[in-house]
Amino acid sequence: TGSTRPQRLLRAVQKNATQGDPQSVINAIDHFCRHKEWAMNVGDEKGSILDSVVSEVNPSTALELGTYCGYSTVRIARLLPPGSQLITLEFNPAYAAVAKQVIGWAGLQDKVQLVEGPSGDLIPQMKDLFGVQSFDFVFLDHWKDRYLPDAKLLEECSLLRKGSVLLADNVICPGTPEYLEYIRNSPRYESRYFKSHLEYTKVEDGLEKSVFLG
């Protein structure tokens, strides 16, 4: 048909989810990915761990690395307290275009700033572009070889404060060995693994939650 998977995912949202109802958007995407086409969203099982970490941190400023179709963006943004902002970075324009519509369908456009470009270029511009002092919460879910350089970049740019929480997806599958080695052994973090499964499968995967100690 010439359509792409993200476009088909978007159509499933428009057909099956209620505008302004984030949970129905999440359900429509999970249903599409379980029963029609697998896609690289954090998914429902790891998503409930993501939800509990976001709720516990209750961030006023949050950063997401890797938007894809906006599934995790919707999950995070729906839990943010009033006045909070989620900045999400995506370097693929076709994915960003779909995500914009998914976020809009959920009614969360006022809480989310979707920025198109590579994380390595954008992270150093966060203060200038958005006036953020630091991020309370960062979700790492972009290409796996960028987790470590971008975590170090966040440190160098003073975008982490004492108590900031990094939550990294896919630390087992596909895996992020250099990131895990760094974050678990650095005295600047307190880190813990949450065991789960790769989205929409029974393969082991999990999330690593790391609190920046300053």
Whether 170 is catalytic: yes
Q: If we measure between CA atoms, which residue out of 101, 100, 127 comes closest to residue 115?
A: 100
Residues that bind Mg ion (CB under 5 A): 141, 169-170
12-20 CB contacts, 8 Å cutoff, 24+ apart: 12/36, 13/102, 13/105, 14/105, 17/105, 17/106, 19/105, 19/107, 20/106, 20/107
- Residue 170 Cβ, how far from Mg ion at the closest point, in Å? 4
C-beta of 90 vs 136, nearer to ligand SAM: 90
31, 13 in Cβ contact below 8 A?
no
Question: Which of 150, 199, 205, 208 is flagged as catalytic?
Answer: 199
Task: Name the binder of 7 from ligand SAM, Mg ion, none, CB < 5-8 A by kind.
Answer: none
- Residue 141 Cβ, how far from ligand SAM at the closest point, in Å? 4
Cα separation, 49 vs 157, whole angstroms: 28
Residue in the structure block whose two tokens are 């709720």: 55
Residue from 41, 85, 176, 210 in contact with ligand SAM (CB under 6 A):
41
212, 161 in Cβ contact below 8 A?
yes
Whether 92 is catalytic: no
C-beta of 56 vs 145, nearer to ligand SAM: 145
Query: Is there binding between residue 134 and ligand SAM (CB under 6 A)?
Result: no
Task: Name the binder of 146 from ligand SAM, Mg ion, none, CB < 5-8 A by kind.
Answer: ligand SAM
Looking from the CA of 114 toward its CB, the CA atoms found within 13 Å total 28
Query: Is there binding between residue 40 and ligand SAM (CB under 6 A)?
Result: yes
Cα separation, 47 vs 197, whole angstroms: 11
- Residue 16 Cβ, how far from ligand SAM at the closest point, in Å? 17
197, 203 in Cβ contact below 8 A?
yes
Q: Which range touches ligand SAM (CB under 6 A), out of 16-24, 123-131, 139-147, 188-196?
A: 139-147
Residues within the interface to ligand SAM (CB under 6 A): 40-42, 66, 68, 71-72, 89-92, 95, 118-119, 141-143, 146
